[in-house]
Chain A
Amino acid sequence: MSSTDIPPTKTIFVRKEMIGASAAPISTRGFFGWVRTRLFGSLFDAILTVIGLSIAGSIIWSVVDFAIVRAVWTGANGEVCRAEGSGACWPYVTAYWQQFLYGRYPAEERWRAIAVFFAFFGLLVPLAMPKVPFKFANTLAFLVGLPIFAYVMLCGGWFGLVPVETMRWGGLLVTMVVAVTGIVTSLPIGILFALGRRSQMPIVRMLSVVFIEFWRGVPMITVLFMAANMLPLFMPDGVDVDKLLRALIGVSIFTAAYLAETIRGGLQAIPKGQYEGAMALGLGYWKMMGLIVMPQALKMVIPGIVNSFISLFKDTTLVLIVSIFDLLGMIQSSRSDPEWAAPSTSTTGYLVAAAIFWIFCFGMSRYSQWMERRLATGHKR
């Protein structure tokens, strides 16, 4: 760093290439530098650090202690977990695992749900990886093929498959069905209402405003409750819309209203010149929106969109109040099984639910951050 220790006469040269800025001195660099400057910069900082670390440490320790150290790993029933001071009751999770995944879906038909899981991830993973080719075919398969396949497989009734009514679906299967359908359908609906709210046509604009403000104004629980209990009252006799389907529509429309506002925010940030450039080239409204405006607007609001998706994923747990048993619902109902009754059963179940939900939500969040960086075309100056 310091040029003073080089004897001035020793070498004379002209620098041909500029060297970059040097790293900071070691005392402010690396882990120890970071610790020293950030955590123990002053006496007050040091005190806060010690307090913070001890709180975090005790929380982490109590989880580890419960889930691993004092945990019971094997056993045939709740007996083993009832011992004084025992931690997580893992045999309960093992015993109920299939139900956590599929609910009351008949055991001999579970392969159908597994096939759908595989089809879903088999199509999603290549779709999510930009390098994999055949994006168009992949998207088509995901948006058209998969829903048909999933519907036929899960509901049954065709090709000799035993019909399984949706009331028997449950667990992670229902969570995934509600979340994925909600995500895939709410985005296009949200886009349409965002466009509608900015439309030149007063009627379209008014309808969009009414739709958005109505759905944003009611709590999700109310939406689901109305869909499950009030809707049948207004339906003509003999018309019975499946309960799960009603919940799906409720969740999807609810999220769409939020997405519409998020996307409208993005649309407002697109400069007028982009519209004019597109119009001057002869692009009509839909091509201008679809090719020029929307891609830029959506890219800008990825964080907001993913925010909505994550909250949708977690809100799927609310379907429990219309007696659809999603992952959390299954855990709730199984923990009161007298055979597995033990002080730690509930906690263990909720720990599993939290872990699974966290993995999915964290995954979505990381993927969106990565996508955002990838889509940055460096036009911001």
Chain B
Amino acid sequence: MTDTSLAPTGRTTPAAARDLAVEMIDVNKWYGDFHVLKAIDLEVKKGEKIVICGPSGSGKSTMIRCINRLEEHQAGRIIVDGIELTEDLKRIDEIRRDVGMVFQHFNLFPHLTILENCTLAPIWVKKLPKREADEIAMHYLRRVRIPEQANKYPGQLSGGQQQRVAIARSLCMSPKIMLFDEPTSALDPEMVKEVLDTMVGLANEGMTMLVVTHEMGFARQVADRVIFMDAGQIIESNEPNAFFANPQHERTKLFLSQILH
């Protein structure tokens, strides 16, 4: 899972940056006239877990979606696992293979079974033989504790189960970095825990994680750093205890007072 050894071809960064999983340098992005990301600087070390919070519309999703190029940035540099994101489609593919992503609305493929959802990318992107892909998929489905659902369709599962499948589906590609965009916000309250537990397990194994969430319990438990964003900027970044006990900025205080009652 946390194989950090071999670097594939096309690496451009110096050896000093080797232990960085993600590096964002002065990243800016606009939607038309609207400045969504303003001078974002962020370094994520390998194995680090980062929780990102902030008010709705502050640019959290946009920021993490830039990391796997679901969104394009217009200025600055983003270097993922030593590969700089450019127009080059090969590099984008290479990065997407290393970066898993879990979405708020799961985005499972409704026309494929759970097992097929999990084996699709290993077979078609990694070119694994079907049998091997099946084994890997079953391994991860067991880990997220739903192997018995393998032959059902996503529509037959509960939200919590679907999100766990989405996590398993990403893990099947053996990513080095996992991005989570509000993975529990679309779930009924009683299902939040099962998904968070899965994520805690993943964190304990040393996965590099960037998690957009408002689950502050999760942040306290696993985060190495909590980042607060507002209006397209990173306002504050600190380790969780200090972040919650002693927020530095007014806006952080206001935000925390609203979500922690």
Contacts and interface: CB of A to CB of B under 8 A. Distances in A.
B153 A379 contact: yes
Nearest to A290: B124
A66 B99 CA distance: 73
Contacts of B169: 281
A287 B124 contact: yes
Interface stretch (B12-20, B100-108, B235-243): B100-108
A282 B173 CA distance: 9
Contact of A283 (B68, B101, B107, B125): B125
B153 A282 contact: no
A282 B93 contact: yes
B155 interface: yes
B104 to A, nearest CB: 9
A379 B70 contact: no
A37 interface: no
Dominant SS among interface residues on chain B: mixed
B27 interface: no
Contacts of B68: 279-280
Contact of A379 (B110, B120, B121): B110
A296 B111 contact: yes
A82 interface: no
A282 B97 contact: yes
A interface, how many residues as a size bin? 20 to 34
A137 to B, nearest CB: 17
A281 B70 contact: no
B109 interface: yes
A291 B124 contact: yes
A273 B96 contact: no
A95 B22 CA distance: 81
Q: Which of A276, A295, A375 has the most CB of B within 10 A?
A: A276
A270 to B, nearest CB: 10
Interface of A: 273-274, 276-284, 287, 291-292, 295-296, 299, 375, 377-381
Interface of B: 68, 70, 89, 93, 96-97, 99-101, 103, 105, 107-111, 120-121, 124-125, 153-156, 169-170, 173
Instruction: Report, nearest first, the 4 A-B pairs whose CB atoms are least far apart.
Output: A379-B155, A277-B107, A379-B110, A281-B121
